[in-house]
A and B are shown apart, each in its own frame.
Chain A
Amino acid sequence: SQTIHQWPATLVQPVGSPLSLECTVEGTSNPNLYWYRQAAGRGLQLLFYSVGIGQISSEVPQNLSASRPQDRQFILSSKKLLLSDSGFYLCAWNLGLEAFFGQGTRLTVV
């Protein structure tokens, strides 16, 4: 069966520090991969999605970037975090239409 791993679960980072969140999927090949952010009390905002290695689509201009160095690995990065980057970051995958999520990373920028 397919599983998705996302880490770390929580993270507290100072403003201006770099960020790297990693997500890996097991049990499937060539999945579509997604990074979402959910601010407190808000809906899911799609940040990036990828349909294959090295293929990244960005949904909103922001302080973040994404990379897909391997088929089942998706990385969210920032060179310098802003206070507004705080939120709940979720990685997701799908092959069909239904999406399946990792457990999320709660990022607090202080």
Chain B
Amino acid sequence: QKEVEQNSGPLSVPEGAIASLNCTYSDRGSQSFFWYRQYSGKSPELIMFIYSNGDKEDGRFTAQLNKASQYVSLLIRDSQPSDSATYLCASKVGANNLFFGTGTRLTVIP
């Protein structure tokens, strides 16, 4: 079973704070990891992906990967109310197979 686990939340943070979203995976064969944002009733959209240990930054978002501990995290700096959404973590096994977690619901309080 190629499981990806996330805390379903909800996670609430005040506007301007750092939101920290975490994800663990069970398959050591996972090659790369993806963070998607999904607004209620909408389709997922890719925020970023990471495949090397360490940090990867893109604007207000930072993805962190620790393959030894099998966890991935997403930090959102200066959180805005528009960041309120469900964040899906996914791991890629093989060429095209993505395994998704159940998502963490984030609420940014103005």
Partners in one complex: no
